[in-house]
Amino acid sequence: MSLDTVRLSQPARDRLVRLKRNTGITQWNVLCRWALTLSLKDPSTPLVKDIVTDSNVEMTWKTFAGQYGDLYLALLKERCLTDGQEPTDEAVAKTLIVHLHRGIGYLGGSKDMQTIEGMVSAVAA
């Protein structure tokens, strides 16, 4: 596992399809950034540890993170340290996938977060 390519599970892809329809946000990477920050904001450790990334949604790290790649990488490394893990490439990549999927679940699981206003409120609060 590496940060070169970010892949999603089929259930995560399905939730993002609904979110794209509801919010009008058309880019996978934008929704994924929201999902990641929302999950990282939650101090609890995600319950799911093994995620099968079997969908056709795939993006490079550069596409996922955009111009803020260094910031997202620092947040992921900090989360590894907070969770008691050494921030190795493997641990950072796993942290990304686990938090990304939990965040997608948060976005797709709440009616409040199925609008742009709701998403901003959830992350900024």
Helix (H) or strand (E) holding 53: none
Q: Both tokens of residue 54?
A: 């079997």
Which of these, 33, 39, 46, 123, lies nearest to 83 by C-alpha position? 46
Within 10 A of 116 (CB to CB), how many other CB atoms are there?
A: 13
How do residues 27-67 score in pLDDT, each as one tens digit?
A: 999 999 999 999 999 999 988 777 888 888 899 999 999 99
User: What domains, with CATH codes, occur in the chain?
Assistant: 5-124 (1.10.1220)
pTM for the full model?
A: 0.88
DSSP 18-46: HHHHHH----HHHHHHHHHHHHHHS-SPP
